[in-house]
Structure 1
Amino acid sequence: MRFEETPLAGAYRVWPEPLSDERGFFARTACTDEFAAHGLVGQFAQSSVSFNARRGTVRGMHYSVEPHAETKLVRCTGGAIHDVLVDLRPDSPSYLKSFAATLTQDNRCALYIPAGFAHGFQALTDAAEVLYMIDRTYVPGSARGLRWNDPALDVAWPEPVTVIADRDLAYPDWTA
């Protein structure tokens, strides 16, 4: 695996390094030892999948608060998404800054999202599927969110929004 730092402190793009032959390829997508060598969480307690039927669907911006803040490894396994991270850690040098990447079934890139970040994405294709590896079990009472188009976050969504949950529409703007 190749770890590529993003402009947000502690967040990484994680690229598989396929070994190819006449059958196709094999690639490692997570390894406790390799993540630990980069100072990252590498053990995941939960795996979840999100299927998004329509292009333009937005999910987010979601995060969890301490003591249940989650670290995630997110990969697009079908179609394509515009994936967005926002650093909500007040002591971070990248506080309130965002980063976006296109994740696709073809590029197989994953985003490593540390605890203390908000996360969301927009489906760039119909039938976009997203796999989440999460370091702890979900605790509903710790779940929070920010409005997907909060001006303080300055997130540029590439497509018109076609589908968004009422819950995501009702989230408040960020206040420090």
Structure 2
Amino acid sequence: MPINIEIKAKCNNLKKIREILLANNAVNLGIDHQVDTYFISSKGRLKLREGNFENNLIHYFREDHKGLKESKYQLYKTDKESNLKQILEQSMGVSCIVDKQREIFRIGNVKFQLDQVMNLGNFVEIEANDENGLYSKEQLQEQCNYFIKLLEINMKDIISESYSDLLKQNNLFNQIFIEE
């Protein structure tokens, strides 16, 4: 199972982060409108991501604490035209829906996401990824720490919760109940 080391922080200046990334030769992969539907799951988290670039069913386990977090995940590429979402809604129920605009950058194995999340605001995410078994957990952590400093992310802005958790805490989520 591939691992990520990731960090998420509130961001008051996406333009500044974008400029720093581009000045450090980050590749801009574009902007994706993504809708993540979280399903009720007894183990880990299960979400269906529907976007212009990414369409995946994602099952993952992630630590919920402030700072660097390890995430283990599995992806299943999906087809926008399939009825998978309906099947999952009817069989499992929906926990939360997160709607966001995501600008994606990459430097090597590290992905940067500048997010504008409906009802929450702006965030930056850093994900150091090891899909091929080339990096140790410690190396991924070092990469994240390097980019936290480079992007001048203030430690007080780092959050431990996922967007879905933040939406639920503030009663801003779209919950769907399926009648049987």
Structure-1-length-normalised TM-score = 0.29
Higher helix proportion (structure 1 or 2) = 2
